[in-house]
């Protein structure tokens, strides 16, 4: 039984804690720590049977019975905690992004050199059943050589302005998943990017220095072209679709809904809206990514999403911001790392 310590008891920390407790048979949450631990969160943790609940994550790193940690704290703490965990000999699952600062990611990479630590980055959408099917169709050659990739990602509502001000911008906060998805679905790296953005949802987002709507085009190392479209607000719900077109055909996936029921009457044809947000849409993928992390530790095999997979979307996001600011295509080689 693998003992895991959760660092950070916010929304994603709770998701992973409940997922491990309810669905991962070879692991358990042995401890959870959050500097903002309150009575309500403590009661929630106790209800899951977590034996050690506190405010200081260092106690988790110092506990010899805990073999792995999941870093679910605020983004600005990810890299520093990861380095501490690596030095403590703990296997690390780090939520995305590893850092918004490329120099910090480099420090984590240096810390990993010569260690036996497994390091996995939390890009859970790779483990969604729909996107796995697209990846498999590309990987097994069903659609031939990849020519065009389209990824649509639109949230049901914009985040609070307080969050926008500290998120690092839409490319690092939201689109980072889509940058990773392009790499995952195609098995190829991005070489050039051109980003167009606008403020069409909430003027306050623009006043905070960010955008809420974007169209991004990319060139890939395998010669394919990719397009991402983003919006912070889709009136009909959480819109998550992808299509890969190739020399032999195409593969496309649509949104998950509560049911596949379609009602047809004299007044028209109606179907269900997409599942509301990421917790509903991707819950199974959170369990699967952690299960594979546990298996990699138990079997001493490679993790499915390594530190380079965590680095590349940040590089792409930096290039996208540079493209938006300068109004031109930007090559990934222009981003210093």
Amino acid 147: pLDDT:
98
Are residue 112 and residue 153 in the same domain, yes or no? Answer: no
Secondary structure (H, E, C), the chain: CEEEEEECCCHHHHHHHHHHHHHCCCEEEEEEECCCCCHHHHHHHHHCCCCEEECCCHHHHHCCCCCEEEECCCHHHHHHHHHHHHHCCCEEEEECCCCCCHHHHHHHHHHHCCCCCCEEEECHHHHCHHHHHHHHHHHCCCCCCEEEEEEEEECCCCCCHHHHHHCCCHHHHCHHHHHHHHHHHHCCCEEEEEEEEECCCCHHHHHCCCCCEEEEEEEECCCCEEEEEEECCCCCCCEEEEEEEECCEEEEECCCECCCCEEEECCEEEECCECCCHHHHHHHHHHHHHHHHHHHHHHCCCCCCCHHHHHHHHHHHHHHHHHHHHCCCEEHHHCCC
Are residue 95 and residue 202 in the same domain, yes or no? Answer: no
**Token pair recorded at residue 127:** 């483990």
Amino acid 262: pLDDT:
86
In a domain, 45, yes or no: yes
Nearest to residue 165, comparing CAs of 198, 209, 212?
Answer: 209
Start-to-end CA span in the chain (Å): 39
Name the domain boundary from 89, 117, 145. 117
Cβ-contact 233, 212 below 8 angstroms: yes
Amino acid 280: pLDDT:
67
Amino acid 274: pLDDT:
79
Amino acid 99: pLDDT:
97
In a domain, 299, yes or no: no
In a domain, 38, yes or no: yes
Amino acid 139: pLDDT:
97
In a domain, 318, yes or no: yes
**Distance set, CA 287 to CA 16, 31, 122, 251 (Å):** 7, 18, 11, 25
Are residue 142 and residue 246 in the same domain, yes or no? Answer: yes
Cβ-contact 303, 166 below 8 angstroms: no
Name the domain boundary from 83, 117, 151. 117
The Cα–Cα gap between 18 and 12 comes to 10
Are residue 164 and residue 89 in the same domain, yes or no? Answer: no
Are residue 90 and residue 212 in the same domain, yes or no? Answer: no
The residue with tokens 């530190």 is 307
Exposure letters 186-207 (e unless 16+ CB within 10 A, then b) = bebbbebbbbebebebbeebbe
Phi and psi of 160, rounded to 5°? -60, 150
Task: Give the domain CATH number at 59.
Answer: 3.40.50.720
In a domain, 301, yes or no: no
Are residue 264 and residue 320 in the same domain, yes or no? Answer: yes
Mean residue pLDDT of the chain comes to 95
Are residue 163 and residue 271 in the same domain, yes or no? Answer: yes
Name the domain boundary from 117, 147, 164. 117
Are residue 174 and residue 321 in the same domain, yes or no? Answer: yes
Domain assignment of residue 208, given as a range: 126-282+312-334
pTM above 0.85, yes or no: yes
Which of the residues in the chain have pLDDT under 50?
none
In a domain, 77, yes or no: yes
**Token pair recorded at residue 48:** 């899951």
Amino acid 98: pLDDT:
97
Q: Is the dihedral of CA 216, 217, 218, 222 positive or negative?
A: positive
The Cα–Cα gap between 153 and 178 comes to 7
Are residue 26 and residue 162 in the same domain, yes or no? Answer: no
The Cα–Cα gap between 184 and 6 comes to 27
Amino acid 295: pLDDT:
97
Task: Give the domain CATH number at 231.
Answer: 3.30.360.10
Amino acid 279: pLDDT:
63
Q: Please count the structural domains in the chain.
A: 2
The Cα–Cα gap between 201 and 211 comes to 9
The Cα–Cα gap between 18 and 45 comes to 9
Query: Residue 41 burial by CB count (10 A; 0-12/13-18/19+): exposed, middle or buried?
Result: middle
């Amino acid at each position: 039984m693998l003992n895991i310590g959760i660092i950070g008891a916010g929304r994603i920390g709770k998701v992973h804690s409940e997922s491990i407790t309810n669905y991962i048979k070879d692991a358990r949450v042995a401890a959870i720590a959050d500097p903002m631990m309150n009575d309500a969160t403590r009661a929630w943790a106790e209800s899951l049977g977590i034996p050690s609940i506190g405010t200081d994550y260092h106690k988790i790193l110092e506990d010899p019975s805990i073999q792995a940690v999941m870093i679910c704290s605020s983004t600005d703490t990810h890299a520093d905690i990861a380095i501490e965990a690596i030095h403590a000999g703990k296997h690390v699952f780090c939520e995305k992004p590893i850092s918004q600062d490329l120099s910090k990611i480099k420090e984590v990479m240096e810390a990993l050199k010569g260690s036996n630590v497994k390091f996995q980055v939390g890009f859970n959408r790779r483990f969604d059943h729909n996107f796995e099917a697209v990846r498999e169709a590309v990987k097994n050659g069903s659609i031939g050589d990849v020519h065009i990739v389209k990824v649509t990602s639109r949230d049901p509502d914009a985040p609070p302005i307080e969050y926008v001000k500290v998120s690092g911008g839409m490319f690092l906060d939201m689109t980072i998943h889509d940058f990773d998805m392009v790499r995952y679905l195609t098995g190829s790296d991005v070489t050039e990017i051109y980003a167009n953005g606008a403020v069409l949802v909430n003027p306050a987002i623009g006043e905070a220095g960010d955008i809420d709507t974007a169209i991004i085009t990319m060139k890939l190392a395998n010669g394919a072209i990719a397009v991402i479209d983003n919006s912070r607000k889709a009136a009909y719900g959480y819109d998550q679709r992808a299509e890969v077109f190739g020399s032999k055909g195409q593969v496309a996936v649509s949104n998950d809904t509560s049911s596949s029921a379609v009602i047809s009457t004299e007044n028209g044809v109606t179907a269900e809206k997409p599942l509301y947000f990421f917790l509903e849409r991707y819950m199974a993928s959170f369990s699967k990514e952690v299960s594979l992390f546990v298996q990699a530790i138990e079997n001493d095999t490679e993790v499915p999403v390594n530190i380079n997979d965590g680095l590349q979307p940040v590089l792409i996001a930096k290039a996208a911001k540079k493209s938006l600011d300068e109004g031109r295509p930007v090559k990934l080689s222009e981003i210093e790392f």
